[in-house]
């Protein structure tokens, strides 16, 4: 073993869909491997069982304000703000999750199905009206995600464009002038949410903000800034990931045509196909960070108190002890739950909504455009491998008898 | 009521541990529901044989291992 720790993240991929070779090499060493993050050494959790055990261990803290918390970027560490539930532990975390749980219950989310279906259909109408080729991310991935979020929050339809524009700006760090644009959009969205809360106080509707205002803000269980921060975090965490999964999931299906045919022709496969795409793509690629508040042992390895861990869903989801032939996309696979929404009490609060959105988005797309295909050769689809969220935001597609490459 | 001597499985949920994720009602809607607050509601503690697989799946999907499926002695 070399004295120097391997640096993390490792981003160089040969095949866009497979984990970097250097990362798989670490997986073969141990379920826990020491790596060097920009902020210092930490344990990379490479195995499925270890990931589940450590993410559901109360001795592993999410509190980013703790000294030595592992992060992927050098940043000034500040105490975690009230309402920033993703970075809280125990009862403090549970308070916010309880507040949000009913909003993301299976029943509540299922009730949103007709509206999400309608949004998908309208967007597909628009795509067909304009004709091919089109970038599926802009025409479908982004707007399906943002309209679903608007519905959840109770943002009126006429404001959805404003919403989409600013949400998108938050996640486009590659464009010129990005930091200013991001700051401006953050301010615009926060201001909008603030106004929305005022509006819902006067004129409540059947939506999340109205209920949180009535049940939590008015009785004084939360303060206004907390409610605003919590709502904002839901937007920030939910929008880009879902939009990206719609687009990158479609890309994966188009590049595995026998899989696409199966999903299109056998709609009963949809639920499993969405799980498999979430596993296979593992778009939240670098991982979930925690810090040990006591010594925690897994197998014969120990994470000492004060040491950080970073759980790699990308590796856990490709653990060959759990998934046979882990590097193959198989929409018929029936397997154990993947780690793409995390595990433990911090399991993505929006997983129910994300799952139903993805099921609807793929189902509607493939039913409406059964001969959907790439408008450029597969090798020309650009994948973002160095961003927090892996995937493609540029997916030129065509339909209506055109063949791949014809309209490129 | 099924006779006590019949072999079967017993489904248990730890309500205190339940983190309201809804994962169980999502994968096994015949066995689990959620209250308005998201908390797990067990529809039956003695699942019929054709739902044992769904019960196992739900137990595995629970992010905080709050579901247990016990095999009852014959």
| Domains annotated on chain A, with CATH | 21-398 (1.10.630.10)
Cβ <8 Å between B19 and A97: yes
Using the Cα atoms of residue A179, residue A184, residue A185 and residue A190 in order, give the sign of their dihedral: positive
Interatomic CA distance for residues A257 and A264, integer angstroms: 10
Question: Which residues from chain A sit within 8 angstroms of residue B26, using beta carbons?
Answer: 106, 352, 355
**Angle, CA A12 vertex, CA A11 and CA A16 arms, to 5°:** 95
Report helix angle A160-170 to A178-202, nearest 10.
Answer: 140
Chain B nearest C-alpha distance from A335 (Å): 9
Q: At B62, which CATH number? A: 3.30.70.20
Q: Give me the tens of pLDDT residue by residue for chain A, a chain 408 residues long.
A: 446 999 999 999 999 999 999 999 999 999 999 999 998 999 999 999 999 999 999 999 999 999 999 998 877 778 899 999 999 999 999 999 999 999 999 999 999 999 999 999 999 999 999 999 999 999 999 999 999 988 998 888 788 888 888 888 877 666 656 778 888 988 999 999 999 999 999 999 999 999 999 999 999 999 999 999 999 999 888 899 999 999 999 999 999 999 999 999 999 999 999 999 999 999 999 999 999 999 999 999 999 999 999 999 999 999 999 999 999 999 999 999 999 999 999 999 999 999 999 999 999 999 999 999 999 999 999 999 988 899 999 999 999 954 333 333
Tokens 């141990």 correspond to A30
Residues of B with CB under 8 A from a CB of A: 19-23, 25-26, 29, 33-34, 36-39, 60-61, 63-65
- From the number of C-beta atoms within 10 Å of its C-beta (0-12, 13-18, 19+), residue A310 rates as buried
In a domain, B1, yes or no: no
Question: Which residues from chain A sit within 8 angstroms of residue B23, using beta carbons?
Answer: 337, 347, 351
Cα dist from A33 to A5, A45, A178, whole Å:
9, 7, 35
Cβ <8 Å between B37 and A98: yes
In a domain, B2, yes or no: no
Interatomic CA distance for residues A324 and A332, integer angstroms: 13
Model pTM score: 0.94
Asked if A31 contacts A45 with a C-beta cutoff of 8 angstroms, the reply is yes
Interatomic CA distance for residues A155 and A208, integer angstroms: 10
Beta strands at A396-398 and A301-303: parallel, antiparallel or unpaired: unpaired
Interatomic CA distance for residues A77 and A231, integer angstroms: 22
Nearest to B69 by CA among B22, B26, B14: B14
Rounded average pLDDT per 10-residue block, chain B, 74 residues: 64 97 98 96 96 97 97 84
Q: Which of B26, B38, B63 sits opposite A101 (nearest CB)?
A: B38
Q: What are phi and psi of A207, to 5 degrees?
A: -155, 170
Count of structural domains, chain B: 1
In a domain, B4, yes or no: no
What local confidence, expressed as pLDDT, does residue A401 receive? 53
In a domain, B20, yes or no: yes
Cβ <8 Å between A337 and B61: yes
User: What SS3 class is residue A391?
Assistant: strand
In a domain, B62, yes or no: yes
Cβ <8 Å between A347 and B23: yes
User: CA-CA-CA-CA torsion for A202, A143, A384, A340, nearest 10 degrees?
Assistant: 70
H/E element holding A46? Answer: none
In a domain, B50, yes or no: yes
Count of pairs with CB atoms under 8 A, one residue in A, one in B? 58
Interatomic CA distance for residues A219 and A260, integer angstroms: 50
Domain assignment of residue B25, given as a range: 9-71
Give the residue from chain B lying closest to A356, CA to CA: B26
Q: What are phi and psi of B35, to 5 degrees?
A: -75, 175
Nearest to A311 by CA among A344, A349, A350: A344
User: What SS3 class is residue A295?
Assistant: coil
């Amino acid at each position: 073993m070399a004295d120097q720790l391997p640096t993390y993240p490792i981003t160089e991929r040969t095949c866009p869909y497979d984990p970097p070779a250097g990362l798989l090499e670490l997986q073969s060493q141990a379920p826990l491997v020491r790596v060097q993050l920009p902020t210092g050494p930490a344990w990379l959790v490479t195995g499925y069982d270890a990931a589940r055990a450590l993410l559901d261990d109360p001795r592993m803290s999410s509190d980013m304000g703790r000294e030595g918390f592992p992060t992927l970027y050098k940043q000034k560490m500040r105490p975690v703000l009230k309402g920033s539930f993703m970075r809280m532990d125990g009862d403090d975390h549970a308070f916010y999750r309880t507040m949000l749980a009913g909003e993301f219950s299976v029943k509540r989310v299922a009730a949103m199905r007709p509206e999400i279906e309608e949004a998908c259909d309208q967007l597909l109408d628009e795509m067909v009206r304009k004709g091919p080729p089109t970038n599926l991310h802009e025409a479908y991935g982004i707007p399906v995600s943002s309209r679903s979020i608007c519905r959840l929050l109770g943002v009126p339809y006429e404001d959805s464009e404003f919403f989409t524009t600013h949400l998108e700006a938050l996640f486009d760090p590659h464009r010129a002038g990005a930091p200013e644009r991001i700051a401006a959009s953050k301010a615009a969205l926060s201001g909008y949410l603030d106004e929305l809360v005022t509006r819902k106080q006067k004129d409540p509707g059947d939506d999340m903000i109205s209920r949180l205002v009535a049940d939590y803000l008015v009785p004084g269980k939360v303060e206004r800034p907390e409610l605003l921060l919590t709502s904002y975090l839901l937007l920030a965490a939910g929008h880009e990931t879902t939009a990206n999964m719609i687009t990158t999931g479609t890309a994966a299906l188009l590049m595995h045509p026998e899989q696409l045919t199966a999903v299109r022709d056998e709609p009963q496969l949809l639920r499993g196909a969405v799980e498999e795409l979430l596993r296979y793509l593992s778009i939240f690629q670098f991982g979930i960070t925690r810090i040990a508040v006591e010594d925690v042992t897994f197998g014969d390895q120990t994470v000492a108190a004060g040491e950080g861990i970073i759980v790699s869903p990308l590796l856990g989801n490709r653990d060959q002890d759990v998934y046979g032939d882990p590097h193959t996309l198989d929409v018929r696979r029936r397997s154990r739950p993947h780690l793409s929404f995390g595990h433990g009490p911090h399991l993505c609060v929006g997983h129910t909504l994300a799952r139903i959105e993805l099921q609807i988005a793929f189902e509607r797309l493939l039913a409406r455009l059964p001969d959907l295909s790439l408008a450029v050769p597969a090798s020309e689809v650009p994948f973002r491998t160095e961003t927090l969220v892996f995937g493609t935001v540029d997916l030129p597609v065509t339909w209506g008898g055109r063949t791949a490459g014809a309209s490129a | 009521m099924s006779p006590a001597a019949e072999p079967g499985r017993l489904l248990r949920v730890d309500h205190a541990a339940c983190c309201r994720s809804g994962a169980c009602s999502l994968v096994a809607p015949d066995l689990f529901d959620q209250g308005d607050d998201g908390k797990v509601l067990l529809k039956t503690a003695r699942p019929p044989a054709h739902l044992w697989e769904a019960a196992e799946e739900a137990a595995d999907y629970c992010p905080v291992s709050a579901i247990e499926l016990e095999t009852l002695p014959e």
